[in-house]
Amino acid sequence: MSVPVRVVTLLVAFAAAHLIGVRGAATGPSRPARPRGQCARAAACQAGLLLALAIVSPVGYWSYRFIWVRNVQDVVLAIAAPALIVLGAPCRPLARGLRLGGRPNRADQRSAVGPGDDAADVRNWPPGWTAGPILVTVAFCVTWWVWHLPAPFAAALSSGTVYAAEVVSYLTAGIVLWLQFVESPPLRPRLAPLRRIALVLAVAASGAVLGLIRVYSAGLVYPAYLGFRHHVLSAVADQQVGGAVLWVIPLVPFSVLAVALVIGWLKDEESEAGAPGIDRMLMRSPAWPSRPGLR
């Protein structure tokens, strides 16, 4: 399974443009110091891109020989790396970086934001950008299942072009999926937290079912791996370990996300429940005792 050089080149170019945009934001004229939150976002995006380079050796090399390593790579490309990239909010730095250090025009100067302006940008984003979060979730699940069918799995093993298409589809589907779950300024999910939790559970359940099928498969589903020598595991055991990877590892980020969404929902409910009482307290005028004859 040869490394898709074009995909690696695209990822490196993306990382370089992002770094240029982050540096330009930090050193631009009359720009305030960047807060720690934005530095953390930049680091998260770069970490996601670094994880996406799991297609390069040694992971890419061993994924050619072991099914479970190939499945670990799939989880990284479709779930872990996209999550970090989306959390890194790369849209604005990437847009600046693609100008290759060029001077911002007046429109860009008017839209330059300070540390506290991300929320305003999120509110002003066009309302229809995530009109179909359910369709996005279904598309991700379909992509995940299709690439783990025997024929596409074997095709990506023998064809660099098919392998590149697999990598690109994983990254694209993963990034669009995570945009439905978490804020990535200037983008924001349109669904309420409870509905997002439902989508998270649906994706986790879909992956768990696929993993369980592979774990409990008695026969070999991926005969293309029979040509490689398995000194420790048989090909069927290798496939079952890979199924456990597909079943268990994605549950970790999805569980963390679900807990975070529940906590955010509880905080919103608490603040909304307390707001009317506070308003009544502020609107109620105190009844001060008075003596007869005093005004």
Cα 162 to Cα 184: distance, rounded to the nearest angstrom:
30
Residue 44's Cβ-side half-sphere holds a number of Cα atoms within 13 Å equal to: 17
User: What is the distance between the alpha carbons of residues 26 and 50, in angstroms, rounded to a whole number?
Assistant: 22
pLDDT band at 39 (very low <50, low <70, confident <90, very high): confident
Distances 178 to 81, 237, 242, 295 between C-alpha atoms, Å? 10, 32, 24, 64
pLDDT band of 236, cuts 50, 70, 90: confident
70-86 per-position pLDDT tens digit: 999 999 999 999 999 99
Tokens encoding 146: 């299709």
Q: Give Cα 121 to chain centroid, integer Å.
A: 20
Phi, psi dihedral angles at 279 (to 5 degrees)? -60, -40
Task: Quick: pLDDT tens for 141-192.
Answer: 999 999 999 999 999 988 888 999 999 999 999 999 999 999 998 888 988 8
Angle, CA 143 vertex, CA 139 and CA 149 arms, to 5°: 145
Reading the block at residue 120, the tokens are 């305003």
Distance set, CA 167 to CA 5, 56, 82 (Å): 11, 12, 12
